[in-house]
Chain A
Amino acid sequence: KNEVEQSPQNLTAQEGEFITINCSYSVGISALHWLQQHPGGGIVSLFMLSSGKKKHGRLIATINIQEKHSSLHITASHPRDSAVYICAIFGNEKLTFGTGTRLTIIP
């Protein structure tokens, strides 16, 4: 079992919908990252969290350390948000990645 589990694996939604992607992990961590991989392959770091909540534009990331869970929310989703979203944890002195959530936003 992977130390990092993401759900759902695939998500298709209509433009404008509120999107939630979940990440659960099973070890103690120092930080959690959310990354976005564009259809062209490029990877961008969206957030790094160790507690609480962060917001950047229409994206919000939250983490609950006690429950070992993080969520990435996208408000007013747009087709350009279509990408793979990857959760990664830093714990036991190593970085471990989830398998990603493929998000498709239909106009």
Chain B
Amino acid sequence: DTAVSQTPKYLVTQMGNDKSIKCEQNLGHDTMYWYKQDSKKFLKIMFSYNNKELIINETVPNRFSPKSPDKAHLNLHINSLELGDSAVYFCASSQGLAGVWEQYFGPGTRLTVT
């Protein structure tokens, strides 16, 4: 059974479009995250949710909006896509709040904006 799953795995779209990436975890964890990994492979946290509440919101354009319908899901919606949004987006989950609990990562979604 996949612990943290993301869909889609690949997403190719044009500038200006709106797209969503879905994430689901079946580990019973309370906390979920979205990370962005740029072309230089640098990972950066974008958002963290704990029990469906936003905990961490790093400096991310407000075109990015996370939505957590329940503890097991954290979706990422991106409006008006730009070339610079091209990256790999990873979802992760942990038992408790960021940093002091082991994190479990999804397989990543490679977003390409043309």
Give the contacts of B54-76 with A (CB-CB under 8 A): 56, 58
**Residues of B with C-beta under 8 A to A30:** 99-100
Known: A86-B43, A95-B45. A43 touches B90 (CB 8 A): yes
* Residues B56 and A94 in contact, CB atoms below 8 Å apart: yes
Where the two chains meet, the residues of B that have a C-beta atom closer than 8 Å to any C-beta of A are 40-45, 56, 58, 88, 90, 92, 98-105, 107-108, 110
Find chain B residues with CB under 8 A from A100 CB: 41-42
Contacts of A99 in B (CB 8 A): 40-42
Overall SS of chain A's interface: strand
Closest Cβ of chain B to A89, distance in Å, is: 8
- Checking B41, B98, B105, B110 against A95 with a beta-carbon cut-off of 8 angstroms, the contacting residue is B98
Tally of A interface residues using CB under 8 Å = 22
**Residue on A with the closest CB to B101?**
A48
The answer to whether A84 has its CB under 8 Å from any CB of chain B is yes
Task: Check if A64 is an interface residue, CB within 8 A of chain B.
Answer: no
A42 CB within 8 Å of chain B: yes
Known: A84-B41, A97-B43. A42 touches B108 (CB 8 A): yes
